[in-house]
Amino acid sequence: MRAQSSATATSPIAVAAPGRERPGFGTLLAALGVVAFSLTFPATAWGLEGFGPWSLVAVRSVLAAVIAGTALLVLRVPPPARRHWPGLAVVGAGVVLGFPLLTTLALETSTTAHAAVVVGLLPLTTALFSALRVGTRPSRTFWIAALAGAAAVLAFTVQQSGGALTTADLYLFAALLVCAAGYTEGGRLARVMPGWQVIGWALVLCLPLTVPVAAFALAQEPVHLTAHSVTGLLWVAAGSQFVGLVVWYRGMAAIGIPKASQLQLAQPLLTLVWSVLLLGEHLTVAAPLTAAAVLVCIAVTQRSRG
pLDDT by residue (tens digit) across 65-82? 999 999 999 999 999 999
Lowest mean pLDDT among 30-34, 40-44, 52-56, 256-260: 256-260
Average pLDDT rounded to a whole number, residues 16-42: 74
Name, of 88-92, 132-136, 159-163, the range with top average pLDDT.
88-92
From the CB of residue 230, how many other CB atoms can be counted at a distance below 10 Å? Answer: 15
CA distance 154 to 85: 35
What span, in angstroms and rounded, lies between the C-alpha atoms of 277 and 281? Answer: 8
Average pLDDT, the chain: 82
Has residue 215 got a pLDDT over 90?
yes
Residue 194: beta bridge partners? 8
* Residue 132 vs residues 120, 170, 262: alpha-carbon distances, Å: 20, 23, 23
pLDDT at 12: 35
What whole-number percentage of the chain has pLDDT above 90?
40
Residue 260 is predicted with a pLDDT of 59
pLDDT surpasses 60 at 1? no
pLDDT at 162 exceeding the cut of 70: no
- The per-residue pLDDT for 34 is 83
